[in-house]
Amino acid sequence: MSDRVDAVVIGAGVIGSSVALELSRSGRSVVVVDKGPAAGAGSTSSSSSIIRFSYSTLDSVLTAWEAAAMWVDWGGHLGCVDPDGMARFVKTGMCIFNTPGDNTVRVQRLWDELGIAYEVVGAERLQQLLPGMDLGAYFPPKRIDDPAFADDPHATLTAILETESGFMDDPMLCAKNLAYAARRHGAQHARRFSHRDEMIAAPAGRAAPADPVATSVYIGNPR
Q: Of 49-53, 124-128, 145-149, 212-216, which range is least confident?
A: 212-216
At 29, the amino acid letter reads S
Residue 220 has pLDDT above 60, yes or no: no
At 37, the amino acid letter reads P
Angle between helices 14-25 and 171-184 (to 10 degrees): 20
Provide the pLDDT confidence category of residue 213 given band limits of 50, 70 and 90. very low
pTM of the model: 0.81
Mean pLDDT throughout 118-137? 95
Question: What does the pLDDT look like over 50-71, one tens digit per residue?
Answer: 999 999 999 999 999 999 999 9
Phi, psi of 186 (to 5 degrees): 105, -5
Phi, psi of 215 (to 5 degrees): -130, 155
Question: What does the pLDDT look like over 138-184, one tens digit per residue?
Answer: 999 999 999 999 999 999 999 999 999 999 999 999 999 999 999 99
Q: Are 30 and 188 in contact (CB under 8 A)?
A: yes
